[in-house]
Amino acid sequence: MVFLGIADWSTFLSGLLAFFALYLIISISLNIEMGYAGIPNFGKVLYFMGGAAFSGSVAIRAAAWIMHISGNVVGLDNFLIAGKLTSMLQSDIPASLALIAITVAVGGAVGGVLGYISIFPAIRLREDYLAMLLLGSAAFFQIFLGNYTPIINGTLGIGIPNFFAWAGSYSTVGATLLIAAFAVVVYVYAERLVRSPLGRTLRALRDNEAAAEALGKDTVAIRRNVLIIASIITGVAGALYTIYTGDTNPAIYDRVTWTFWPWLIVILGGVASNSGVALGTFVFVFLLQYIDATKFYLQNVLPFDVTWLEYLLFGSLLIVVLLLRPQGVLPEKPSHTLAKSEISKIIERPDGEKEG
Amino acid sequence: MSVSLTLTYITTKVPNFAQGALVTAGMYTGFALFSINKINPYESLPVSFLVGGLIAIGIYLLVLRPLSKRGAPIISLMIATLAVDIIFVGIFGIYSDYLYQVKEVYDAKLFYALTGADFTLFGVNGVAYAAPTALALTTVILYLVLTRTRFGLAMRATVENSNLAKVIGINTEVVYVTSWFIAGGVAAIAGVFYSFWLGGEPDIGSILLISMFAGSILGGLKSIYGAVFGGLVVGGSEIIVTTLGAQYVGSWVTAYEPGIPLLVMVVTLLVLPGGITSLDWRRLFSRGRQ
């Protein structure tokens, strides 16, 4: 039954959840960098791309090694080998789980290394120079992946085995749940970070660096740690995306999808507000997925690709938000050190006892 | 291209990530007029200039001015120009699809160098003469305007200290709009020349942007002459290094051409963050004192 233009609601909702979780992870990590630590990262796609490409490359090699398959796994036989490995892994749950863990770990490690490299410009340069440099580096890294064949076979990309093959027809659901679980972990971590002493230090550093330094905070070390943590998170997101789609290809890591959309989400939802970012992610991903699912109606009428309309729509949306509500839909609130329930308990206490 | 980027940077103090869009606009104006109306891109240069200039004014008036009036921080301005860039990638995408499907221009989505439209002189493509001439002309005209006219004086005053310029009665808005118009036009013309040399596609701006930034940063981001120099060095080194590399190391080197401007950018920022002009000034000053 076609309802609201969507024929297959279960596929739609499953895709919605996967992309919601994925974009939540990336946007939260961007929010930690930009909203709390004040590092405007215009090269978000760099860490995502690194995590996704290298984890995919390692994943299929590791799988081939475990299953004793030889041959050029990232060459011409790649898709044959990936298919063969998928059928072998179907009955081998422990190996599948181990490979998932390896893939995620590689993604995080690569993201972390790239983050470590970006520290050097990030702590020295002013934000405009930094933005240009990171944007440029990301574009170059994409070209590098497209031309250096040993990693993911250049522009052709590689397929990796399906690590959820043992779940049968639920394999996509398995990958979706994996991303969702990680998104929950990241969200909880970000919320706890904001309420922790480190979170308060970060905001102090963002709002008045000189004052934070005068109070004895090592601003360089804090920035460095934040950038590495956020990069690791983004790298893992890349690995999860590779597991989810089952292939990796330089063409999919463009700056619109993985740098600009997360920025749009964070600004739409509210800079330095985790709940705002979650709301922004939901609104954005819902719109994106809905357009994707229904665009073939328009496609028959229009003499051009509907994807370009998405660019127009979301680009304009960002400018409108910046003009009309620069603080976002759910702006930053003073964060409470205690949980909300504790605070309401304190408020409900009889007069004279309000403290803490 | 670097000249125009620097021009927008010195007026609004924001790196314009939509600069690639202006270049692409010029490219597609020239391309469309050539393939539909059979007008030689050289003849349609004024049209391209106008299109680029008007788009630049639009960006300034509709996006950047309202934002900076609200006191938006530089990060917001940067992301806004990035948004503009993405909007334009969408527009060019739609336009190229439209050319492809309605006007039946089958290479609109990814066209190759328009060498067919170019003239040749002594066996070398005309663009090899035209582009440097245009650059020299632009530089000379800008120099004359900036130093010899009242408007140039007003422009320099606005750039140095816009509040003070306002106090003595200079209409800074006119200055800003004009410099954005010139910047857009110059970028668009650069796009036309680029399409003679190499081809184009809707998203070409994102790759060109690295070279433009590198040129401007090398030039110091504050001086137009610095940008001319930076642009020449970056463009020249891209071509020289890849040609030599392809000859002596192997043809795979050419694919990494965008890495050269990136390298230039990194080295400049590490060694000489103020760009080439900051270095020259300091030397001149110390000599003057001796």
Residue ranges of domains in chain B: 1-203, 204-290
> What pLDDT sits at residue A232?
92
Q: Per residue in B78-106, is it b (16+ CB within 10 Å) or e — as a string?
A: bbbbbbbbbbbbbbbbbbbbbbbeeeebe
- Average pLDDT of the residues of chain B: 71
Sign of CA dihedral B32, B37, B41, B44: negative
Mean pLDDT in residue range B151-180: 76
Q: How far is B173 from chain A (nearest CA, A)?
A: 20
Asked whether residue B274 carries a pLDDT value surpassing 70, the answer given is no
Residue A355 in 3-state DSSP? coil
Please answer whether residues B1 and B197 qualify as being in contact, where contact means their C-beta atoms are separated by less than 8 angstroms: no
| Contact status of B181 with chain A (Cβ, < 8 Å) | no
Confidence of residue B6 (pLDDT cuts 50, 70, 90): low
Size of interface A-B (CB pairs under 8 A): 133
Q: Is residue A2 situated within a structural domain? A: no
Sign of CA dihedral A138, A142, A145, A147: negative
Sort strands A158-159 and A247-248 into parallel, antiparallel or unpaired: antiparallel
B146, B221, B222, B277 from B284: Cα distances, Å:
21, 19, 17, 11
Rounded distance, CA B114 to CA B196, Å? 5
Q: Is residue A356 situated within a structural domain? A: no
Residue A113 in 3-state DSSP? helix
Mean pLDDT in residue range B234-263: 70
Strand locations in chain B (E)? 120-121, 124-125
> What pLDDT sits at residue A98?
85
Convert the pLDDT of each residue in A45-74 to its tens digit.
889 888 888 888 888 888 888 777 777 776
Convert the pLDDT of each residue in B91-140 to its tens digit.
888 887 777 766 655 555 555 555 555 554 454 555 666 667 777 777 77
Asked whether residue B12 carries a pLDDT value surpassing 60, the answer given is no
Confidence of residue B200 (pLDDT cuts 50, 70, 90): low
Q: Which residues of chain B does A136 touch, with a Cβ-Cβ cutoff of 8 Å? A: 209-210, 213-214, 261-262, 265
Convert the pLDDT of each residue in A87-116 to its tens digit.
777 777 788 888 888 888 998 899 989 988
Mean pLDDT in residue range A285-299: 80
Sign of CA dihedral B251, B241, B203, A12: positive
| Contact status of B198 with chain A (Cβ, < 8 Å) | no
Q: Which amino acid is at A207?
A: D
DSSP code for B13: S
Sign of CA dihedral A259, A260, A265, A267: positive
Residue in this structure with the two tokens 């934070």, named with its chain if needed: A212
> What pLDDT sits at residue B126?
56
Beta carbons of B206 and A139 less than 8 Å apart: yes
Asked whether residue A218 carries a pLDDT value surpassing 70, the answer given is yes
Q: Which residues of chain A does B65 touch, with a Cβ-Cβ cutoff of 8 Å? A: none
Q: How far is CA A91 from the centre of its chain?
A: 31
Asked whether residue A327 carries a pLDDT value surpassing 70, the answer given is yes
Please answer whether residues A6 and A97 qualify as being in contact, where contact means their C-beta atoms are separated by less than 8 angstroms: no
Please answer whether residues B189 and B49 qualify as being in contact, where contact means their C-beta atoms are separated by less than 8 angstroms: yes
Q: Of the candidates B17, B90, B213, which has its C-beta nearest A309's C-beta?
A: B90
Rounded distance, CA A113 to CA A238, Å? 14
B46, B105, B106, B116, B179 from B35: Cα distances, Å:
17, 7, 10, 11, 31
Structure tokens at B159: 């750039």
Instruction: Name the nearest CA neighbour of A230 among A49, A28, A46.
Output: A28
Q: Is residue A269 situated within a structural domain? A: yes
Please answer whether residues A224 and A123 qualify as being in contact, where contact means their C-beta atoms are separated by less than 8 angstroms: yes
CATH code, A43: 1.10.3470
Asked whether residue A197 carries a pLDDT value surpassing 70, the answer given is yes
A12, A179, A286, B86, B97 from A283: Cα distances, Å:
15, 18, 5, 19, 29
Backbone angles phi, psi at B239, to 5 degrees: -70, -45
Q: Per mean pLDDT, which range of A49-58, A232-241, B72-81 is the poorest?
A: B72-81
Mean pLDDT in residue range A10-37: 85
Q: Which amino acid is at A317?
A: L
| Contact status of B254 with chain A (Cβ, < 8 Å) | no
Which contacts (CB < 8 Å, 24+ apart) does range B111-116 have? B111/B31, B111/B195, B111/B199, B111/B200, B111/B201, B112/B199, B113/B195, B113/B196, B113/B197, B113/B198, B113/B199, B114/B30, B114/B31, B114/B34, B114/B41, B114/B195, B114/B196, B115/B196
> What pLDDT sits at residue A185?
92
The two most distant CA atoms of chain A are separated, in Å, by 76
| Contact status of B261 with chain A (Cβ, < 8 Å) | yes
Q: Which residues of chain A does B255 touch, with a Cβ-Cβ cutoff of 8 Å? A: 143, 146-147
The residue with greater pLDDT, B104 or B181, is B181
Best of A118, A120, A132, A307 to disrupt the B interface by mutation (most B CBs within 10 Å)? A132
Mean pLDDT in residue range B203-230: 72
Asked whether residue B281 carries a pLDDT value surpassing 60, the answer given is no
Asked whether residue A139 carries a pLDDT value surpassing 60, the answer given is yes
- Average pLDDT of the residues of chain A: 81
Q: How far is B168 from chain A (nearest CA, A)?
A: 30
> What pLDDT sits at residue A233?
92
Q: Is residue A224 situated within a structural domain? A: yes
- In chain A, the number of structural domains is 1
Instruction: Name the nearest CA neighbour of B73 among A226, A40, A115, A302.
Output: A40
> What pLDDT sits at residue B290?
41
Rounded distance, CA B136 to CA B128, Å? 13
Q: How far is B37 from chain A (nearest CA, A)?
A: 21
Confidence of residue B238 (pLDDT cuts 50, 70, 90): confident
Domain range for residue A246? 9-344
Q: Is residue A149 situated within a structural domain? A: yes
A189, A197, A217, A334 from A338: Cα distances, Å:
15, 12, 23, 12
- Those residues with Cβ within 8 angstroms of residue B206's Cβ, 6 or more apart along the chain or in another chain: A139, A255, B20, B85, B89
Backbone angles phi, psi at A157, to 5 degrees: 75, 170
> What pLDDT sits at residue B105?
59
Share of chain B above pLDDT 70, in %: 61
